[in-house]
Amino acid sequence: MSSYRIGERITCKAAVAYGPGESLVIEEIVVDPPQKMEVRIKILFTSICHTDLSAWQGRNEAQQAYPRILGHEAAGIVESVGEGVMDLKSGDHVVPIFNGECGHCIYCKSENTNLCEKFRVNPLRSVMVNDGKCRFSTKDGKPIFHFLNTSTFSEYTVLDSACAVKIDPKAPLNKMALLSCCISTGVGAVWNTAKVKPGSSVAVFGLGAVGLAVVEGARAIGASKIIGVDVNPDKLAKGQTIGITDFINPKLIDKPVHEKVNDIIEGGVDYSFECAGNLDVLREAFLSTHDGWGLVVVLGVHPSPRLLPLHPMELFDGRKIVASTFGDFKGKSQLPEFAKTCMHGVVKLDEFITHELPFEKINDAFQLLIEGKSLRCLLHV
């Protein structure tokens, strides 16, 4: 990195996406100083989520923007702050969040949502909210687009202050990176969205990082039965390590999954969590819950234009279906306390970091995720 003074542009390395499925290019870019109500962060650790993978592959044409810096799961240190930022300062340890919290809008003031009027998750947005411009550019001055309010595949990034959460400086930043997405999403879905009660039964459809975070949240809250469902047989061992009590591989049974769930728990589970982003799986998750009171929480990202595979009359049998964004955590106001809960070992994070690589090996990390070999590959930036 070139020498600079606070308030000036920084030249640093970033992994830039130039087209759908093209290998990310590690190159020097220019990062502008933060503008009003923005912060510039030095990223120390970042990891790859399936959302990054989908964006890199360009599955949704409406969300494509190139060149672009992806990444939304990370941890780092504030380098500088823009005008008006009062809750953050240079040197603070922070976690970027894709679902921001301004604290002032009607949404942020409501107890009924964790969405924010301006800074909620928006995969279509590729510029800063403040002025509609990019804070990244190539060495020859061409703009590089942003991603999910965060863009963490860079040594330095600029965020709206609403999307940066200050955490305890004693917290291990490598593990805290997971709070940017998978752990908060999965555990929060159990604790905040479903409000799972001790002794309850749970089924988790899709045992990726978010699904296993659901398992961890259910284990920590004291669920009596945790059924994991996945077509990858390798998920059995990892799931058992984290807390599943039963495992179903849909490819190895001769009946619908919900019937197999009913064999394990008569009547079905109290709660099910759909983490696969597949409507057929969602249908099975719905039918796997108990008639009269079953609750389905949707966590998977669904790129298909197909609609919900439910008839409205089925809802009169008492089953309910909801979705959860960022585990229903209000990021700025609630995540610092959740980080302390993780520091105290209530939620175990070690099992989720399956690989660690230098930042320059980011394309290898993508391949590990594509092949289903990693939960989280932590990149040391």
Catalytic residue among 40, 46, 101, 102: 102
Contact by Cβ (8 Å): 281, 248: no
Residue 266, CA distances (Å) to 11, 196, 263, 319, 349 in order: 61, 19, 6, 16, 32
First-to-final CA distance of the chain: 12
Q: Where are the alpha helices (DSSP H) in 96-206?
A: 173-176, 182-188
Catalytic residue among 68, 93, 116, 146: 116
Q: For the sheet containing 201-205, what is the strand order?
A: 246-248, 225-229, 201-205, 271-274, 295-298, 320-323
Catalytic residue among 46, 51, 152, 245: 51
Question: Catalytic annotation on 73?
Answer: yes
The token duo for 232 is 């990858």
User: Which of left, alpha, beta for 209 (phi over 0: left; psi -120 to 50: alpha)?
Assistant: alpha
Question: Catalytic annotation on 72?
Answer: yes
The token duo for 233 is 């047989």
Catalytic residue among 38, 73, 155, 274: 73
Catalytic residue among 11, 27, 59, 105: 105
Catalytic residue among 68, 79, 93, 108: 108
Question: Catalytic annotation on 344?
Answer: no
Question: Catalytic annotation on 102?
Answer: yes
Catalytic residue among 182, 325, 376, 377: 376
Residue 148: name the closest of 127, 166, 177, 175 by CA: 127
Catalytic residue among 38, 40, 46, 50: 50
Catalytic residue among 12, 40, 46, 49: 49
Catalytic residue among 12, 134, 163, 181: 181
Question: Catalytic annotation on 59?
Answer: no
Give CA angle at 233 (237, 225), nearest 5°: 55
Residue 160: name the closest of 202, 193, 200, 132 by CA: 132
Catalytic residue among 93, 120, 258, 283: 120
Question: Catalytic annotation on 377?
Answer: no
Question: Catalytic annotation on 275?
Answer: no
9-38: buried (b, 16+ CB within 10 Å) or exposed (e) per residue?
A: ebebbbbbbeeeeeebeeeebbbbbbbebb
The token duo for 165 is 């959460």
- Active-site residues, by number, are 49-51, 72-73, 102, 105, 108, 116, 120, 181, 376
